[in-house]
Amino acid sequence: MTSSINTFAATLPQSTFLPDSSEYQGASKYWTDTVFLKPGAVFIPNSAEELAKGLEQLVEHQISFSIKGGGHNANRGWASNSDGGVVISTSNLKGLELIETGSEGGTVLRTNIGITLTEIYDFLEEKGTTIAAGNQATPGLGGLLLGGGLSPYWNRFGFAANTIVSFQVVTADSKILDVTAKSHPDLFWALKGGICNFGIVTRLDLKTFARQNIWAGAHIFAPTSFGAAFDALDSFTTEEGNSPHVGVMLMSPAKGMVMASLFYDGPHDSDEPPPVFRHFNALPMVNSTFKKSSWPGVVKFSFMVAPYGFRRYVSTSTIYKDTKLLQRLFELYQSSAQEHLSDIEGGEFHIFANVMTVAAFEKNRDGPWAIDNLKEDIVGMMQWSTWKHAKDDERVMRWTEMISDEMKRVAEAEGKSHKYLYINNANETQDAFASWEPRNMDQMREISKKYDPNAVFQKLRSGGPKLWS
């Protein structure tokens, strides 16, 4: 393999970096210290054309490769590669442009895939528009949107990928395709959830929309309000759960503690918090960071809650909405973390929950992650373990999987477990594709075989979920 890597590096010397270079060290930076696997080289193309040429060489020499976007996925090796392979990093694919859409009205944001969310929100702020994507600064657009993308505008659009107007993608035969709903309807549909199975996305056109008054932040409730916060979530969902202006996530960072992360974008010309959150605003709190904001302000907050430099593992599960059960699961999770992992240095064990109403999920009917015949609201949960030392890796990861299984058993016993797994939050033992509708998975496999008949993205691409083998 080393001689193949050297041949590859000699073909594209200006953008291929071997382990002794500073560029290689720079590209080794991932959000989670557990995921980097020491590839033979890192390829950092400066254009889609250069990327296509590199992919052609990798295929010709049968060199295994992986694709790194923002490097935020917590699964080991999903965006990295073991000895001998090449990591293709999209970090140098920069460039942003706002394009008038003429007769259809409005604008689209044309963004190369290496652009960060901070760069996007700063760029759009002065123009009074925004896009649907994440509310943290550092995850990559690639991984986030190609898995669907949860955004605070979930009630308005469903998955953020529903706002993609066009993909530019380098396919297995090294062609650069502009993929729209009209030009390649099958590939356009599949790319909205297929992550790294159909090609390497180099550019996106995203629908923009006007932003209004933005409020964001978190209410951190007093321990005495623990149960009341779940009741507030219940009342809020019943009364306001489909409002296009809100995004709410309940989160527990430790035993007895719960906070509500709140987002609002809508009409509200006042210095008082938007009344739509009245059920949460009324509870006793130890602190609140919820305030008038802007998109650049919203994403700056993320540096405080999700810093680099730790080891991490995530897990996901879904239940039908039952806030009493949700409270029990949060308590179970935190009690178990305290019982089993209180001696872990740097240990932090967070659990998050997002309610997804039937009406909002209906907006996903045209994507590969659609759920057929959803009759009740569901709650997507994520368990997020953080720790400091490699010696604790196996212990924390196995506990994270164990507690997820236990939570699932509790939900099943109540008849409230739902099989759906959000792919961007699933860990390497969780087969999110298997939780999707079989008819959609059959279609995904067919499309993969049409655009990638030699299975480059199933066999030569390492890391990340696969559709077939």
Q: Report if residue 201 touches ligand FAD, rule: CB under 6 A.
A: yes
* Class of residue 289 by CB neighbours under 10 A (exposed 0-12, middle 13-18, buried 19+): middle
How many residues sit in the footprint of ligand FAD (CB under 6 A)? 34
Candidates 200, 374, 411, 432; binder of ligand FAD (CB under 6 A) is 200
Q: Which range of residues in 69-77, 101-109, 260-268, 317-325 is near ligand FAD by CB under 6 A?
A: 69-77
The DSSP letter of residue 461 is: B
What is the footprint of ligand FAD within residues 298-317 (CB under 6 A)? 306
User: Quick one: which of 17, 31, 153, 277 contacts ligand FAD (CB under 6 A)?
Assistant: 31
The correct pick among 16, 90, 334, 400 for binding ligand FAD (CB under 6 A) is 90
Residue 44 sits in the site that holds ligand FAD (CB under 6 A): no
Closest CB to ligand FAD among residues 273, 463: 463
Asked if 73 is part of the footprint of ligand FAD (rule: CB under 6 A), the reply reads yes
**Interaction with ligand FAD in 428-467: which residues (CB under 6 A)?**
463-464
Which residue's CB is nearer to ligand FAD, number 89 or number 281? 89
- Contact between 421 and ligand FAD per CB under 6 A: no
Helix, strand or coil for residue 301?
coil
Q: Which of residues 139-168 bind ligand FAD (CB under 6 A)?
A: 139-140, 142-144, 146-147, 149-150
Own/partner pairs, 393-401, CB within 8 angstroms, 24+ separation: 393/34, 393/311, 395/341, 395/344, 396/311, 396/313, 396/341, 396/344, 396/347, 397/313, 397/427, 399/336, 399/337, 399/340, 399/341, 400/313, 400/314, 400/315, 400/427, 401/315, 401/427, 401/429
Can you tell me which of 134, 193, 217, 380 binds ligand FAD, judged by CB under 6 A? 134
DSSP per position, 61-119: TT--EEEESSS---STTTT---TT-EEEE-TT---EEEEE-GGG-SEEEEEETT--HHH
Is residue 67 a contact point for ligand FAD (CB under 6 A)? yes
Among the residue ranges 9-17, 47-55, 62-70, 368-376, the one whose residues contact ligand FAD (CB under 6 A): 62-70
Residues 6+ apart with CB under 8 A from 179: 166, 167, 168, 169, 187, 188, 191
Task: Please check whether residue 148 is in contact with residue 179, taking contact to mean a CB–CB distance below 8 angstroms.
Answer: no
Applying CB under 6 A, the residues found at the interface with ligand FAD are: 31, 66-73, 78-79, 90, 113, 134-136, 138-140, 142-144, 146-147, 149-150, 195-196, 200-201, 306, 424, 463-464
